[in-house]
Amino acid sequence: MKNFLKLTYITLAFSVFTLSACNNDEDEIDTEKPTIDLSFNQAFPQNGSVLYFGESFTLNIRLADNFELGAYSVNIHSNFDHHSHSTEEEEEEEHHEEGEHHHHDGEEGDGFYFSQDYTIPSGSKEYTASNTIEISAHAPDGDEYQAGDYHFMITVTDKAGFSTFKSVGIEIKNR
């Protein structure tokens, strides 16, 4: 019994030791996701924005993080099937209800596709994305792109690897 108690003490001492050994340093870590602001007046693009083939447009999107921003990416792809992963459902529904467009008659055209990522100067907590993006008039093979509903998607990461994305419904037309 005496031996038994001894063993009990040893195991208890051991567990107290391991608990205290593991519980020392408290690193300061980021647990918050970065943010995307598209709500201010000059923000671009917004839900329902219209762009044109063969022309350029300039982003105006505010990005922020409590620790440090990482990078961001922009993706434009067709929404002819209305698969939608919009982050702003309500507005897009309205946009659809306007109903003068989509249901592409020119079946043959390719969907325009754009995907690009951009770096942010290290150490930035706030950054305004203001890149100029050109929407080419023709596909590399000379075919015309199909006009209609597209998704504009922006994803921002922070240094820790958290990400936030926003997606808006836009329309790309031929001028």
Partner 1 sequence: MQSRICAAVMVVCAYFVVSNVYAQSDSIPVVELNTVTVKRNTTARNISTSKSVETVDRGFITHNLGGSLSESLENIPGLSSINIGSGQGKPVIRGLGFNRVAVVEDNIKHQAQQWGSDHGLEIDQYSLERAEIIKGAASLEYGSDAIGGVINLSSSRIPQPHSLTADAQATTKSNNQFFGVSAGVGLRGENWFTTSRFTAQDYADFCVPKNFVNIYSYRISLNHGRLRNTAGKEYDGHFTIGYIGNGFKSRLIISNVNSFGGFFANAHGLEPRNVDTKVHDRSIRDILQPSQSVNHFKTALNVERWTSQYTLTADIAYQNNHRLERSPYVSHGYMPLTCPETYNGDPDTEYLYNKDVYTASAKLTIPHGRLNLKTGSTFELQDNQIGGRGFIIPSFTSIQSGLFVGADYQLTPTYKLEAGVRYDLGVIHTDPYSDWFKSEDEYVQRAQAIDRKFNDLSWSLGATAHSGKLTAKVNFGKSFRIPTAQELACNGVNYHHFSYEKGDPNLHSESAYQADCELTYGGRLFTIILSPYAGYFTNYIFLDPSPSFDRLYGCGNQIYNYKECEVGRYGGEILMKFTVDNRYVPMHNGKIDIEAGAEYTQAKQKSGSKKGYGLPFAPPPSAKVEGTYSMLIKKPTQQNRNSTAASLGAMVKTVAQQNHIVPPESPTKGYTTVEVSAGFEFKTPKHSLNLTLRIKNLLNTEYYEHTSFYRLINLPAQGRNIIINLSYKL
- Choose one: 38-46, 48-56, 80-88, 126-134; the region binding partner 1 (CB under 8 A): 80-88
φ, ψ (nearest 5 deg) of residue 4: -60, -45
> What number of H helices and E strands is found in the chain?
2, 10
Q: Provide the mask over 32-61, with x wherever binding to partner 1 is found by CB under 8 A and - wherever it is not.
A: -x----------------------------
Strands annotated E in the chain:
35-37, 50-52, 56-58, 61-64, 69-78, 114-119, 126-129, 132-134, 148-158, 163-173
131 scored as a contact of partner 1 (CB under 8 A): no
- Choose one: 1-9, 40-48, 51-59, 131-139; the region binding partner 1 (CB under 8 A): 1-9
> Within its chain, how far is the Cα of 172 from the centroid?
20
Q: Which of 52, 53, 67, 80 binds partner 1 (CB under 8 A)?
A: 80
Interface contacts to partner 1, rule CB under 8 A: 1, 3-4, 7-8, 10-12, 14-15, 18-19, 21-23, 27-29, 31, 33, 70-71, 73, 75, 77-78, 80-90, 110-111, 113, 115-117, 155, 157-165
